[in-house]
Amino acid sequence: MEKADTDKTRLDLWPFMLSVYARPGIAAACLRLQEAHGLDIPLMLAVLHGGVSGRVPGLEQIQAFDRNCRIWREAAILPLREARRTMKSHQWLASQPRVPSLREHVKAAELEAERVEADVLEQMLSDILPGPRLIDLDGLSEITVTVLDLYDPGRTERVPPEVNTIVAAVLQTVE
C-alpha cells in the first residue's frame, strides 16, 4: 500500500474509466460480468479507482453508491442499453435504413448517462478521507468481489476470472 494524496481535487474518475475500458480485453470482460452477474460496470470501476487513489470505500459506502445510482441506472442507462441492443439484434429493425444512425445516437446517450453516474460516484468517492492506496491484485480483487456480492451473492465462482483481468488492467493504468 502507498500513501494517497490528501488533496481534495477532482479524482478524474471518467478519464480513468475510459483508460481502463480501452485496454485490450477489458470491454469484453466487463460485458461478461455485466451480463452474467448484472454488475454495474461504472460502479465497479469507481470502487477500483477509489482503491488505487487511496479512497477505499467500505461495504456501507459501496451500498450507498449503489443506492444513489440505482434510480438513474434503472431510469436512464438500462432502458437506453436495451433500446440500443434491440436495434442491433432485431432483424426487422436492423434492416431499416435510419436505425444505424439512431442506434449510434442512443449509444452516445447511454455513454453520457454513464458519465452522469460517474460524476455522482466521483463526488461520493471524494467524500471518503484519503488513506493508503490499494495497489495489489489481492486487495483490488477483494473490493471488486464486495461489489459483485451486491449484484450476485449466490454466484458459483467467488472471483470470476474477468475480475483479475480487470484488476490487472487497473494496475497497469496507474503504473
Q: Which residues, 6 or more positions from 1, have their beta carbon under 8 angstroms from its beta carbon? A: 132, 133, 134, 135, 136, 139
Q: How many domains does the chain have?
A: 1
pLDDT, one tens digit per residue, over 148-171 is: 999 999 999 999 999 999 999 999
- In a domain, residue 78? The reply is yes
The amino acid sitting at 15 is P
This prediction has a pTM of 0.90
Mean pLDDT of 13-35: 97
Any domain includes 118: yes
Domain of 87 in residue numbering reads as 10-174
- In a domain? residue 3: no
Residue 136 falls within a domain, yes or no?
yes
Q: Could you tell me if residue 2 is inside a domain?
A: no
Looking at residue 94, what is its pLDDT? 74
- How far apart CA 17 and CA 39 sit, in angstroms, is 15
In a domain, 44, yes or no: yes
Closest CA to 34 of 146, 151, 161, 159: 151
State residue 128 phi and psi, 5-degree precision: -80, 130
| pLDDT bucket at 9, cuts 50 / 70 / 90 | low
Mean pLDDT of the chain: 93
Is 109 a domain residue?
A: yes
Residue 137 and residue 168 in contact, taking contact as beta carbons nearer than 8 Å: yes
- 47: which 3 cell numbers? 470502487
Nearest to 116 by CA among 163, 155, 75, 159: 75
Q: What is the pLDDT of residue 175?
A: 84
Residue 141 lies in a domain: yes
pLDDT at 7: 47
Q: Read off the pLDDT of residues 58-96 as tens digits, 9 standing for 90 and up.
A: 999 999 999 999 999 999 999 999 999 999 888 888 788
Bridge partners of 3? 132
The position carrying cell 438500462 is 78
Could you give the CA distance from residue 175 to residue 170 in angstroms, rounded to a whole number? 9
**Residue 127 scores a pLDDT above 70:** yes
